[in-house]
């Protein structure tokens, strides 16, 4: 290399893998025990570096609370975990699948990662029930049709094969009707669990913030996710509604759900989290158990932050 | 005989009445089919234009969409009609009303694309994100969640587009299609009375426009209510 100038690194070429141009860091093997693994995660908006070189692993059953000053990159980090935001560089693995690999079907991976937003984001054009059943029904029907299509070709090929060489058909367990009624029953069960079964047929605009957020949570649960990502789930709520939402999240935690929660509710983080990450300036500046973080903070940044919020 | 009597005598003959009715039917058909086609084209073009992808195939599609919009918005409707009817669709054997509806649909699609694009942009980004976070594909999210809300937001603008489309159909008589304008022009030409027939024609368009405005208002009100239930 001349004069020490860094040579322009070429995007890597590996069979079965394809990345966006800016992703130049070599992929390292991921930890098979980690549910989510983040490698060298970097995110820039133009010249603004929001996340710089974050490495982290999240294991099954963990309840991770992310705290930190506003603008520190908490939301961006969370949104990179299910690649709602494309990382500029670095990789996110979910159950061993590299979500940044463009050859990986991101829609299939996201089914198992629930996400809850600060602004609820219930679908305004659909009733509460339809909000919950939309994804299970659509995805169920897509899978059904895909299986039927494949079976059609298998049958066609089997016409030309001798009896003992015929290929087996893919199993098609449910009819379209069953998929729909099952999704509906499941949604009603979930609504009963949060005491809102009577709101089945109303539109989201008629509900309170607390009701909307609880419905947003069960909407994510309807896909049977392995992990739930919460981005400040109570920040847009009136104070009297914060409790009902936190209570539901706590129930999920007690049921063993793996979760990552960005929150400003320090009491909640202390109570529910198994690990707390303190994010500032695009980095995980400090992390540890709730006791360590809240009772024995090490860095000045964290001490300063805690003195302001506690 | 007064001007009105002359007009009425002519107008009330069965032949003229029939041509007026056919004309009305053709005008309405062209406007309605043109609107529907334009709406579908508009939705597709608008969706293509906002696909967030650097894929080369998508980029080409986007360029084509831009070109389509530029051409159809950058030239007069009358010129498009003459060109497409006499030069492009010349050997094609489809009923004239269908052909003209297609031409109007193509024209309207370019405007509808812009209407739908701003309609889509008016839908909160969180709606798409929530749908994608559940594992729905971009297109499923678009069709099931974003477009219905975009259409709803765009209803007043789509109504205006329908009104101008209806009025613009009055130029189809230049290619010999028997619309309502042509029916009244025939009355005027054959009686040498111009004022009354053309005032009557203007009144018919005006009433049609009023009816459309009313329907749009009802739809708007209905949509507003459906969210409050
Ligand atoms: N879409 C975007 N375009 C440009 N800058 C952004 C965008 N999203 C976030 N940022 C910037 O990234 C930084 C981190 O934002 P965010 O992750 O939302 O922080 P936090 O959630 O910790 O408050 C902020 O400075 C914010 O202005
Ligand atoms: Mg945030």
Which residue would you say has higher pLDDT here, A8 or B181? B181
What pLDDT score was predicted for residue A4? 41
Task: Name all contacts of A251-257 with Cβ < 8 Å and 24+ positions apart.
Answer: A252/A217, A252/A221, A252/A228, A253/A63, A256/A61, A257/A225, A257/A227, A257/A228
Q: Are B161 and B122 in contact (CB under 8 A)?
A: no
A134 three-class SS: helix
**Structural domains in chain B (count):** 1
Condensed to tens digits (0 to 9), the pLDDT of residues A102-142 reads: 999 999 999 999 999 999 999 999 999 999 999 999 999 99
Helix H or strand E segment including A242: helix A239-254
Mutate to test the pocket of ligand 1, among A44, A46, A50, A282 (most ligand atoms within 8 A of CB): A50
Q: For the purposes of burial, counting CB atoms within 10 Å of the CB of B94, is it exposed (0-12), middle (13-18) or buried (19 or more)?
A: exposed
Q: Give mean pLDDT, residues A185-202.
A: 96
Residues spanned by the domain of B56: 3-228
Which residue would you say has higher pLDDT here, A271 or A173? A271
Ligand 1 atom closest to residue A279's alpha carbon, by position in its atom list: 22
Beta carbons of B133 and A114 less than 8 Å apart = yes
Beta carbons of B133 and A220 less than 8 Å apart = yes
User: Looking at the predicted structure, is the pLDDT value of residue A10 above 70?
Assistant: no
Query: Cα dist. B30→A126, A129, B74, B133 in Å?
Result: 33, 40, 22, 42
Condensed to tens digits (0 to 9), the pLDDT of residues A68-88 reads: 999 999 999 999 999 999 999
Q: How far apart are CA B22 and CA B28, in angstroms?
A: 10
Alpha helices in A43-163 (DSSP H): 74-81, 106-110, 128-158
Which residue would you say has higher pLDDT here, A22 or A276? A276
User: Looking at the predicted structure, is the pLDDT value of residue A183 above 60?
Assistant: yes
Residue A92 falls in which region: left (phi positive, over 0), alpha (psi -120 to 50) or beta:
beta
Question: What percent of chain A stands above pLDDT 90?
Answer: 84
- CB count in 10 Å sphere of residue B49: 17
Separation of A22 CA from ligand 1 center, angstroms? 19
* Residue A160: pLDDT band with limits 50, 70, 90: confident
> Which ligand is located closest to the Cα atom of residue A118?
2
Out of A243-257, A277-291, B215-229, pick the least confident. B215-229
CATH number of residue B93's parent domain? 1.10.3720.10
Q: DSSP for A8-37, please give it.
A: PPPPP-BTTB---TT--SPPPPPPTTEEEE
A258 three-class SS: strand
Question: Which residues in chain B have Cβ-Cβ distances shorter than 8 Å to A219?
Answer: 134
Q: How far apart are CA A12 and CA A27, in angstroms?
A: 9
Q: Are strands A89-94 and A34-45 parallel, antiparallel or unpaired?
A: antiparallel
Taking one residue from A and the other from B, the number of pairs with CB-CB distance under 8 angstroms is 79
Chain A residues in contact with chain B using a Cβ-Cβ cutoff of 8 Å: 20, 82, 84, 107-115, 117, 119, 121-126, 134-135, 138-139, 142, 201-203, 205-206, 216, 219-220, 223
Out of A162-171, A239-248, B115-124, B198-207, pick the least confident. A162-171
Q: DSSP for chain B, please give it.
A: --HHHHHHHHHTSHHHHHHHHHHHHHHHHHHHHHHHHHHHHHHHHHHHHT-----HHHHHHHHHHHHHHHHHHHS-HHHHHHHIIIIISTT--S-HHHHHHHHHHHHHHHHHHHHHHHHHHTS-HHHHHHHHHTT--HHHHIIIIIHHHHHHHHHHHHHHHHHHHHHHGGGGGGGT---HHHHHHHHHHHHT--HHHHHHHHHHHHHHHHHHHHHHHHHHHHHHHHHH-
Chain B residues in contact with chain A using a Cβ-Cβ cutoff of 8 Å: 54, 124, 126-127, 129-137, 140, 144-145, 148-149, 152, 226-229
Q: For the purposes of burial, counting CB atoms within 10 Å of the CB of B137, is it exposed (0-12), middle (13-18) or buried (19 or more)?
A: middle
Q: How far apart are CA A191 and CA A127, in angstroms?
A: 13
Contacting residues for A310 by C-beta, under 8 A, at least 6 apart = A266, A294
Taking the CA of residue A258 and the nearest CA in chain B, the distance in Å comes to: 17
Q: How far apart are CA A192 and CA B65, in angstroms?
A: 48
Q: Are A279 and A68 in contact (CB under 8 A)?
A: yes
Task: Name all contacts of B124-127 with Cβ < 8 Å and 24+ positions apart.
Answer: B124/A119, B124/A121, B126/A117, B126/A119, B126/A121, B127/A121, B127/A123, B127/A124
Query: Residue-wise pLDDT tens for chain B (229 aa)?
Result: 788 888 888 888 888 899 999 999 999 999 999 999 999 999 999 999 988 877 889 999 999 999 999 999 999 999 999 999 999 988 888 899 999 999 999 999 999 999 999 999 999 999 999 999 999 999 999 999 999 999 999 999 999 999 999 999 999 989 989 999 999 999 999 888 899 999 999 999 999 999 999 999 999 888 887 666 5
* Residue A12: pLDDT band with limits 50, 70, 90: low
């Amino acid at each position: 290399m001349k004069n020490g100038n860094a040579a322009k690194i070429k995007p890597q070429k590996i069979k079965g893998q394809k990345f966006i141009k800016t992703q130049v860091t070599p992929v390292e093997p991921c930890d098979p025990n980690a549910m989510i693994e983040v490698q060298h995660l970097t995110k820039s908006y133009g010249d603004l570096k929001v996340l710089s070189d974050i490495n982290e692993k999240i294991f099954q059953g963990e309840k991770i609370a992310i705290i930190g000053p506003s603008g520190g990159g908490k939301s961006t980090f969370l949104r990179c975990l299910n690649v709602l935001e494309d990382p500029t560089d670095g990789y996110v693995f979910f159950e061993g699948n590299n979500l940044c690999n463009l050859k990986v079907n991101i829609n299939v991976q996201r089914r198992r990662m629930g996400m809850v937003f600060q602004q609820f984001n219930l679908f305004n054009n659909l009733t509460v029930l339809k909000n919950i059943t939309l994804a299970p029904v659509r995805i169920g029907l897509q899978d059904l049709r895909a299986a039927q299509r494949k079976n059609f070709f298998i049958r066609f090929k089997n016409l030309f094969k001798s009896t003992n060489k015929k290929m087996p058909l893919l199993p098609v367990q449910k009819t379209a009707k069953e998929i729909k009624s099952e999704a509906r029953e499941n949604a009603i069960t979930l609504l009963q669990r949060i005491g809102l079964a009577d709101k089945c047929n109303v539109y989201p605009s008629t509900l309170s913030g607390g009701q909307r957020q609880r419905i947003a949570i069960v909407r994510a649960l309807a896909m049977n996710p392995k992990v739930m990502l919460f981005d400040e789930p109570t920040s847009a709520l009136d104070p009297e509604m914060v409790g009902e939402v936190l209570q539901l999240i706590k129930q999920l935690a007690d049921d063993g759900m793996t979760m990552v929660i960005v929150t400003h509710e320090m009491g909640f983080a202390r109570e529910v989290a198994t690990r707390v990450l303190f994010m500032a300036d695009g980095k995980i500046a400090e992390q540890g158990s709730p006791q360590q973080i809240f009772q024995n903070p090490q860095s000045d940044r964290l001490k300063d932050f805690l003195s302001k919020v506690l | 005989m007064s001007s009105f009597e002359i007009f009425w005598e002519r107008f009330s003959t069965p032949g003229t009445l029939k041509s007026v009715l056919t004309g009305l039917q053709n005008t309405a058909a062209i406007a309605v089919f043109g609107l529907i086609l334009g709406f579908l084209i508009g939705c597709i073009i608008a969706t293509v234009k906002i696909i967030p992808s650097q894929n080369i195939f998508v980029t080409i599609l986007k360029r084509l969409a831009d070109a389509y919009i530029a051409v159809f918005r950058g030239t007069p409707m009358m010129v498009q009609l003459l060109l497409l009817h006499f030069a492009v669709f010349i050997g094609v054997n489809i009923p004239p009303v269908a052909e003209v509806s297609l031409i109007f649909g193509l024209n309207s699609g370019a405007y509808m694309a812009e209407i739908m694009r701003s309609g889509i942009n008016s839908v909160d980004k969180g709606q798409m994100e929530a749908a994608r976070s559940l594992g729905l594909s971009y297109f499923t999210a678009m069709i099931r969640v974003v477009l219905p809300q975009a259409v709803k937001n765009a209803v007043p603008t789509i109504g205006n587009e329908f009104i101008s489309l209806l009025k613009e159909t009055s130029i189809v008589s230049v290619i010999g299609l028997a619309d309502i304008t042509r029916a009244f022009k025939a009355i005027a030409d054959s009686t040498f009375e111009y004022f009354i027939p053309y005032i009557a024609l203007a009144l018919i368009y005006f009433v049609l426009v009023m009816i459309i405005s009313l329907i749009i208002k009802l739809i708007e009100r209905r949509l507003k209510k459906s969210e409050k239930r």
